[in-house]
C-alpha cells in the first residue's frame, strides 16, 4: 500500500499538486468550500431525521430538495481531496487522523446506504409525521457524529502531517 | 502596534495557547465544526430566500430553525476564533485577509440580524427576500473564502 502511495506521488498529477506555487492553497480552499456546502446542507437532512427541524416537510421532500446542493459540494470535495491525496499520499497514509477520517467517511457512507436500503423502505408509513421512528433518528445522529469526526480529523491533519 | 494588542498577545492565556500545538489544532478543529454549521444554516436560509430550496414552504419555516442553529454555531466559532486570535493578535490585525474576514463577518451578521427577520415575515415581498438572500449568500461565502485565505497564507 505504501509503495502505491509513493508511486502516486511520482505521477505528473502528484508533482503538480505538490510543487506548483498556488496548487496546494487553491485545492485546500476548494476542499473546505466543498465541505462547507456538502456537510452544511446534509446536516439539515440529519436534523429532519431527528425531528429537530423542518418537521412540516416529509423527510423524502427535504431529501429531494437539498440533495442536489449537497451532491455538488461532495463532488467538489471528492475531486480536490483526491488530488490532494495523490500529492501527499504516503504522508497521509501514515497519518493517524487521515485513517480516522477515512474510517468515519466509510461509516457515513454505510450509514447512508443502510438508511436508504432498510429504514427508508418502510417510509410510506412514517413519511408525514414529525415524530420519527428510532431507525431514522439513529441514522440522523450517526451522520452528524461521523461528519463531525471527519471535519475534526481533517483539520487535525494540517497540524500533524509533515 | 497598539498597546492593548501587545497586552493581549503577551498574556498568560496567549502563551498557553501559542506554545501548545495541540491546543491550536483542537481549537482550529472546533472552529471549523462551528463554521460548517454556521455556513450550512445561512446557506439553506439564503437559498430559501432566493426560492432555490423548499420554495413551496413558508420562508420563516426554514429561516427560523436555521437562525437558531446559526446563532449557536456563531457562538462556537467566535469563542474558538477568539482563543485562536489571542496568541497572534498583532499579526492578525495587521493582516489584510484578516481585516477582510472581520469586515465580511460584521456585515453578514448585520444582514442576518436586521434584514432577514423583516423579509422572513413578509411573504408579500419576494423581491426584498431575494435581494437579502443573494446578499447573504455572497457575504457568507466571501467570509468562508477569506477564512481559507487567512489560514493558508498567514
Q: In the numeric block, which cell numbers belong to residue B98?
A: 484578516
pLDDT at A121: 76
Residues of chain A contacting B35 with CB distance shorter than 8 Å: 36
Assess contact for A156 and A97: CB atoms under 8 A: yes
pLDDT at B120: 80
Q: Among partner residues B21, B37, B152, which is closest to A43 by beta-carbon distance? A: B37
pLDDT at A127: 58
A130 CB within 8 Å of a chain B CB: no
pLDDT at B118: 84
Residue B21 buriedness (CB in 10 A; 0-12 / 13-18 / 19+): exposed
Residues of chain A contacting B32 with CB distance shorter than 8 Å: 32, 151-152, 154-155
- Interchain contact, B47 vs A69, CB within 8 Å: yes
Taking chain B (154 residues) in runs of 10, the rounded mean pLDDT of each run is 84 93 96 97 95 90 94 97 95 94 96 86 77 95 95 82
Buried b (16+ CB within 10 A) or exposed e, B122-133: eeeeeeebbebb
Alpha-carbon separation of residue A162 from A23, A62, A123, A159, B46 (angstroms): 17, 42, 48, 8, 39
Taking chain A (162 residues) in runs of 10, the rounded mean pLDDT of each run is 92 91 91 96 95 90 93 97 96 96 97 88 61 88 98 96 82
pLDDT at B1: 58
pLDDT at A60: 87
- Separation CA B43–CA B38 (nearest Å): 8
Residue A126 buriedness (CB in 10 A; 0-12 / 13-18 / 19+): middle
pLDDT tens column, B30-66: 999 999 999 999 999 999 999 999 988 899 899 999 9
Q: Chain B residue closest to A68 (CA)?
A: B53
pLDDT at B81: 96
How close is the nearest chain A Cα to the Cα of B29, in Å?
5
Assess contact for B24 and A159: CB atoms under 8 A: yes
How close is the nearest chain B Cα to the Cα of A158, in Å?
8
A86 CB within 8 Å of a chain B CB: no
pLDDT at A85: 96
pLDDT at A130: 61
Give me the interface pTM, i.e. the ipTM.
Answer: 0.92
How close is the nearest chain B Cα to the Cα of A152, in Å?
5
pLDDT at A128: 59
pLDDT at B123: 64
Residues of chain B contacting A40 with CB distance shorter than 8 Å: 36-37, 39-41, 43-44
Amino acid at each position: 500500500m505504501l509503495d502505491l502511495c509513493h508511486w502516486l506521488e511520482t505521477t505528473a498529477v502528484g508533482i503538480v499538486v505538490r510543487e506548483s506555487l498556488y496548487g496546494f492553497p487553491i485545492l485546500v480552499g476548494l476542499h473546505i468550500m466543498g465541505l462547507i456546502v456538502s456537510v452544511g446542507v446534509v446536516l439539515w437532512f440529519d436534523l429532519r431525521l431527528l425531528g429537530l427541524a423542518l418537521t412540516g416537510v416529509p423527510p423524502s421532500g427535504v431529501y429531494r430538495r437539498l440533495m442536489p446542493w449537497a451532491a455538488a459540494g461532495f463532488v467538489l470535495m471528492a475531486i480536490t481531496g483526491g488530488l490532494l491525496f495523490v500529492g501527499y499520499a504516503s504522508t497521509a497514509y501514515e497519518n493517524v487522523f487521515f485513517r480516522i477520517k477515512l474510517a468515519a467517511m466509510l461509516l457515513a457512507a454505510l450509514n447512508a446506504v443502510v438508511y436508504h436500503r432498510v429504514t427508508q423502505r418502510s417510509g410510506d408509513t412514517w413519511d408525514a409525521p414529525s415524530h420519527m421512528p428510532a431507525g431514522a433518528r439513529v441514522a440522523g445522529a450517526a451522520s452528524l457524529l461521523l461528519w463531525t469526526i471527519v471535519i475534526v480529523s481533517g483539520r487535525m491533519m494540517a497540524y500533524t502531517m509533515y | 502596534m497598539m498597546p492593548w494588542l501587545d497586552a493581549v498577545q503577551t498574556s498568560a492565556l496567549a502563551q498557553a495557547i501559542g506554545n501548545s500545538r495541540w491546543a491550536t489544532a483542537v481549537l482550529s478543529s472546533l472552529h471549523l465544526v462551528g463554521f460548517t454549521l454556521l455556513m450550512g444554516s445561512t446557506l439553506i436560509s439564503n437559498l430559501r430566500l432566493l426560492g432555490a430550496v423548499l420554495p413551496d414552504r413558508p420562508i420563516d419555516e426554514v429561516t427560523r430553525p436555521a437562525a437558531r442553529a446559526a446563532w449557536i454555531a456563531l457562538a462556537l466559532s467566535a469563542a474558538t476564533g477568539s482563543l485562536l486570535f489571542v496568541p497572534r493578535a498583532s499579526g492578525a490585525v495587521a493582516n489584510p485577509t484578516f481585516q477582510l474576514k472581520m469586515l465580511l463577518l460584521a456585515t453578514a451578521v448585520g444582514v442576518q440580524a436586521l434584514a432577514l427577520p423583516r423579509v422572513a415575515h413578509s411573504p408579500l415581498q419576494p423581491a426584498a427576500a431575494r435581494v437579502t438572500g443573494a446578499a447573504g449568500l455572497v457575504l457568507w461565502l466571501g467570509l468562508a473564502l477569506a477564512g481559507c485565505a487567512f489560514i493558508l497564507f498567514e
